[in-house]
Structure 1
Amino acid sequence: MTVFDRIVAACRAAAENPSLVQCLTNPVVPEITANVLLACGHSPAMCDNTHEAVQFLGLADCALINLGNPTGDQLQAMELVADKAHATGTPWVLDPVAVGPLDYRTATATRLLSYQPTAIRGNASEIAALAGAGSGGRGVDSTDTPEAVADVAGELARRTGSIVAVTGPQDWIIGPDETLLVTGGHPLMQQVVGTGCSLGALVAAYLGSARTAGIAAVDAVAAAHAHSAAAGTMAAQQASRPASFKTAWVDWLFELSPEQIAATATTTVAGQ
């Protein structure tokens, strides 16, 4: 099966097997995260308190843990959910937002690695810092490139057993046996709050669907990135400013077929 066919199959699985996604995320992005999931056919749930989070995981197909603006109760819920997801085999995604410069969240993210996230998604500086090979970026902005941190990201993937997705102008999806490169999107995506955070939720959704449909996890992670990137490419053709781009991006997430996603965002195997 070609890489193109693998991305189509993963996108089709996500469309035909919608996920209920438990999002433990930061207060800046719940709305765009929910809208992105809904546009892609999935169901969002922002259940992140210690009283309900573990129980809700029993209903969810997957979970996102996003460290964008952690608070005490939410951090406790995150650790409880990660522990439960690890024990039950429920796919979950760690998004180590701004890890590196801030000691508290860096220690939290490092501790969460012990629960073996199915996927880790972050920019190059976040991934390097989480791997112990960098000090992080400028807040949430990366000061590194995916190519520059590919080796340490690969080591992080081997050490944790997770798929490591390093986002940038070209996304690097590092799996157990190969690395997939996803090319697409548009620089305007960096001018809209929540595109990266909602991508973490979409990765979780694709992993939940993949588990149901028997799709390889690395293909699901790459396909989620391709879906987001393809929508960004198409949105930029009709919008040239951040606010209108945001609307167009969500609309194209809704509009694109699996074949259009695979054709618009190019996915290749590194080294080939």
Structure 2
Amino acid sequence: MDARTVCALLNRIREQKPLIHNITNIVVANFSANGLLALGASPFMASSENEAAEAAKMADALVLNMGTVDEAILKAMVKAGRSAIAHGTPVIFDPVGAGATPYRKFVAESLLEELKMTMIRGNAAEISQLIGEQGEVKGVDAGDLKGNPAEWAKRAAKQWQTVVIATGKDDVISDGSKTFLVHNGHPILTQVTGTGCLLSAVAGAFAAVEKDPVKAAVSAVTFYGVAAEIAAEKSGKQGPGSFQMEFINQLALVSEAEILRHGSFEQIE
């Protein structure tokens, strides 16, 4: 695949406007919904156990984000996930803060054992926790990394039979046999709450229009990184608040020409 694949899938999202069911956390729900709308997708923020299965049945992709999970949300996630899988709908899992507390470790492992995920999207430290490694998780953020994120992503993909997106300085995408590095993005993303969570939702939108989860994942991360680079350039030195607004703009405005010019990824094995 190349940058033309990214353009083709972006156009497909903007034409089809897939419905993305999010069971996400209270910190990022608005940001994620606005980001999906800017991209061209249609967000459905339904987290009640009473409608989770029906919402997932209607959706084109399901995104499960455990950022502020509790027992009721966990039950809703399981119901939605079972429904999505039964109807052939891709499921994207964001293990926010996995390993930061015993409860988060329990939730992540419970969902992975219960549901066959299409993709897992987390920072490199969170991905390491899913395979028993010790990448440092500081609250919901990555701390010091003493290991190889590409190797962690590959091992996690094999262990959980899925496609893994491990974000960091370079983002890693692996299905256990094919592994890609995406070089796009900007450090200011780490200064805005919810940019990782929104990436998980964007990955859901790409998975909704592309059956090959590796192509969908690489395309989502590349598009997202290009949008961040352009937003950082346009907002200049005004700070993360201005970047956040411009980033939403660029999710809507990024063109094929900009993706072809700036998109940067490679297969490493």
TM-score by length of 1: 0.92
Task: Supply the AA of the counterpart residue of 1:56.
Answer: A
- The residue correspondences of 1:130-145 to structure 2 (distance < 5 A) are 130-134=130-134, 136-145=136-145
In the alignment, which residue of structure 2 is the partner of 1:94?
93
Please tell me whether residue 233 in structure 1 is matched to residue 229 in structure 2: yes
The verdict on how the C-alpha distance between 1:120 and 1:74 changes in structure 2, with shifts beyond 3 A counting, is same
- The residue correspondences of 1:1-272 to structure 2 (distance < 5 A) are 2-114=1-113, 115-134=115-134, 136-145=136-145, 148-211=148-211, 216-239=212-235, 240=237, 241-271=239-269
Q: Deviations over 1:214-260 (max 9, x none)?
A: xx221111111112111110011121201100011111110012342
Aligned pair count? 266
In the alignment, the residues of structure 1 paired with residue 147 and residue 32 of structure 2 have an alpha-carbon distance, to the nearest angstrom, of 27
In the alignment, the residues of structure 2 paired with residue 98 and residue 209 of structure 1 have an alpha-carbon distance, to the nearest angstrom, of 28
In the alignment, the residues of structure 2 paired with residue 147 and residue 14 of structure 1 have an alpha-carbon distance, to the nearest angstrom, of 36
Q: Deviations over 1:36-85 (max 9, x none)?
A: 00000000111011100111111100111001011221111011112222
Task: Supply the AA of the counterpart residue of 1:125.
Answer: A
Paired residue secondary structure (1:49): coil
Q: Deviations over 1:194-232 (max 9, x none)?
A: 111111111011101114xxxx22111111111211111
In the alignment, the residues of structure 1 paired with residue 147 and residue 185 of structure 2 have an alpha-carbon distance, to the nearest angstrom, of 17
Whether contact under 8 Å (2:56, 2:80) holds in the other structure is: yes
In the alignment, the residues of structure 1 paired with residue 168 and residue 104 of structure 2 have an alpha-carbon distance, to the nearest angstrom, of 22
Whether contact under 8 Å (1:226, 1:262) holds in the other structure is: no
**Which runs of at least 4 in structure 1 moved beyond 4 Å after TM superposition?**
144-147
How far the C-alpha of 1:185 sits from its partner, in A, is 1.6
The verdict on how the C-alpha distance between 1:65 and 1:161 changes in structure 2, with shifts beyond 3 A counting, is same
In the alignment, the residues of structure 2 paired with residue 153 and residue 167 of structure 1 have an alpha-carbon distance, to the nearest angstrom, of 10
Q: Deviations over 1:108-165 (max 9, x none)?
A: 1111112111000000110000122226411122125597232232121112221000
How far the C-alpha of 1:89 sits from its partner, in A, is 2.1
Task: Supply the AA of the counterpart residue of 2:148.
Answer: A
Moved more, 146-155 or 53-62: 146-155
Paired residue secondary structure (1:237): helix
Task: Supply the AA of the counterpart residue of 1:156.
Answer: A
The verdict on how the C-alpha distance between 1:131 and 1:263 changes in structure 2, with shifts beyond 3 A counting, is farther
* Larger relative contact order, structure 1 or 2 (CA cutoff 8 Å, min sep 6): 1
The verdict on how the C-alpha distance between 1:36 and 1:147 changes in structure 2, with shifts beyond 3 A counting, is farther
Whether contact under 8 Å (1:185, 1:265) holds in the other structure is: no
Whether contact under 8 Å (2:100, 2:140) holds in the other structure is: no
Paired residue secondary structure (1:121): strand
For the aligned residues, what is the CA RMSD? Answer: 1.7
In the alignment, the residues of structure 1 paired with residue 38 and residue 147 of structure 2 have an alpha-carbon distance, to the nearest angstrom, of 31
The verdict on how the C-alpha distance between 1:234 and 1:146 changes in structure 2, with shifts beyond 3 A counting, is farther
Paired residue secondary structure (1:78): helix
In the alignment, the residues of structure 2 paired with residue 33 and residue 39 of structure 1 have an alpha-carbon distance, to the nearest angstrom, of 10
The verdict on how the C-alpha distance between 1:175 and 1:263 changes in structure 2, with shifts beyond 3 A counting, is farther
Moved more, 160-169 or 132-141: 132-141
The verdict on how the C-alpha distance between 1:190 and 1:99 changes in structure 2, with shifts beyond 3 A counting, is same
The verdict on how the C-alpha distance between 1:78 and 1:136 changes in structure 2, with shifts beyond 3 A counting, is farther
